[in-house]
Amino acid sequence: MRKYLGWVSIGIIGITLILFVFMRGRVSGYVGTNVLIIGAILALVTALLSKKGKSKTVSISALGILAGGFIILVLGFMMNGGL
């Protein structure tokens, strides 16, 4: 069962991003941020529990890119007041 947790992690990342796109403008910013953070934490936990392999590497890399993009977005808002 642990060998499939990497693919589950990739699925959680995908579902989180789809929810994030469809919720844009319909809910407050706090709700969207919470959905993004909860999805990233769930994906990270499932990726860390999975066996070593391609899916684990891909999911942890995607989480790193997602976290880096979120930090850059937040810093952009802090510095310039918007994009």
Query: Which secondary-structure segment (H or E) carries 14?
Result: helix 5-23
Q: Where are the domains of the chain?
A: 2-80
Q: Which of 15, 8, 75 is nearest to 48 (CA)?
A: 8
Tens-binned pLDDT, residue by residue, of the chain (83 aa):
888 998 999 999 999 989 988 888 888 878 888 988 899 999 999 999 999 989 889 999 989 998 898 889 888 888 877 65
